[in-house]
């Protein structure tokens, strides 16, 4: 299953990159292939300064080797040997009216244990209800079609709980789905393929609807401020970042998820009743978006 999963993730990277380049209309992904000293490697693709994408990365990796005894205790399975294959992406658009998006799908083994994990989530700055509802409905449809292994209500709840900045007491975005440690059965693999295939449908219509809209310098400033939350989550909590750094992955590829321009403002407080205040007061509160009217 490792070989089949790796082949699928590699092909998925190709399809997603092609779709994003078409949506951007000008930018092209730069590809770097790399080898991991302990075994395996990957290919990182980064698009910078595009017409729509300010910075985006779509990475494929297939690595293997030994874990440290300390880190091995934190994972299911036994012994020290591991393998991992997956595709991971983060897209930071230039416009504050287009949400940042993250997705990853992965297959891992640790000794006698093998599992799949992954998901996708949306981080808007000036949300449009139509976009948020669309994103969630795509993932609900995928989960419902694989109900034997994919419980949408649970995966949505797990996403809301995982992408939560505990030290801020707030969500990173409006969620999506998240799953981990799902036994590597054929049914689970079928769900993972369906989810990977659905990413373009979940996000590109949002990009197309918003990429022609004008925005103000003030909205751009707010986007840069909120990007700081993205940085905090990825450096403090993100499992993929932790796994990559603890297994001697390629640092540039691991940290490609960070936005290109970020603004930290001391004790920032948005004007009450403003769209900026509405983001945290309304949009970042977990709710059943798939059941909402667009």
Give CA angle at 25 (23, 30), nearest 5°. 90
102 classed as catalytic: yes
Long-range contacts (CB closer than 8 Å, 24 or more residues apart) made by 271-280: 275/126, 276/222, 279/124, 279/125, 279/126, 279/127, 279/226, 280/170
When computed from its CA atoms, the radius of gyration of the chain, rounded to whole angstroms, is 18
In sequence order, which residues have a C-beta less than 8 Å from that of residue 81 and are 6 or more positions away?
A: 64, 65, 66, 67, 110, 111
Q: For residue 266, how many other CB atoms are within 10 A of its CB?
A: 4
Q: How far apart are CA 239 and CA 165, in angstroms?
A: 14
Q: For residue 43, how many other CB atoms are within 10 A of its CB?
A: 16
> What does 172-207 look like in DSSP terms, one character per residue?
SSSEEEEEEEEE--HHHHHHHHHHHHHHHHHHHHHH
From the list 2, 92, 102, 164, the catalytic residue is 102
Measured in whole angstroms, the distance separating CA 252 from the mean position of its chain's CA atoms is 17
Q: How far apart are CA 290 and CA 193, in angstroms?
A: 21
Cα torsion for 48, 97, 281, 256, to the nearest 10°? Answer: -10
Contact 268, 225 (CB under 8 A): yes
In sequence order, which residues have a C-beta less than 8 Å from that of residue 70 and are 6 or more positions away?
A: none
How many Cα atoms occupy the beta-carbon half-sphere of 262 within 13 Å?
13
The set of catalytic residues is 102
């Amino acid at each position: 299953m490792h070989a089949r999963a790796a082949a699928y993730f590699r092909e998925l990277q190709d399809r997603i990159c092609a779709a994003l380049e078409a949506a951007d209309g000008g930018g092209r992904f730069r590809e770097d292939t790399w080898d991991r000293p302990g075994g395996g490697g990957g290919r990182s693709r980064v698009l910078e300064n595009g017409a729509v994408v300010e910075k985006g990365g779509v990475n494929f990796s297939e690595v293997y080797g030994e874990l440290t005894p300390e880190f091995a205790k934190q994972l299911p399975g036994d012994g020290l040997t591991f393998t991992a294959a997956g595709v991971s992406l983060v897209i930071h658009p230039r416009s504050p009216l287009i949400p940042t998006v993250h997705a990853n799908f992965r297959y891992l083994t640790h000794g006698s244990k093998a599992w799949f994990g992954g998901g996708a989530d949306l981080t808007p700055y000036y949300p449009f209800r139509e976009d948020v509802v669309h994103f969630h409905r795509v993932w609900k449809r995928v989960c419902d079609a694989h109900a034997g292994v994919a419980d949408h209500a649970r995966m949505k709840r797990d996403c809301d709980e995982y992408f939560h900045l505990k030290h801020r007491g707030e969500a990173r975005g409006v969620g999506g789905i998240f799953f981990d440690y799902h036994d590597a059965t054929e049914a689970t693999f079928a769900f993972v393929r369906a989810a990977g295939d659905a990413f373009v449908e979940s996000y590109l219509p949002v990009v197309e609807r918003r990429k022609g809209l004008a925005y103000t310098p003030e909205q751009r400033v707010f986007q840069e401020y909120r990007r700081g939350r993205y940085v905090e989550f990825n450096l403090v909590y993100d499992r993929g970042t932790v796994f990559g750094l603890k297994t001697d992955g390629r640092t540039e590829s691991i940290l490609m998820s960070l936005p290109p321009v970020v603004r930290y403002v001391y004790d920032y407080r948005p004007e009450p009743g403003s769209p900026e205040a509405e983001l945290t007061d309304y949009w970042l509160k977990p709710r059943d978006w798939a059941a909402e009217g667009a």
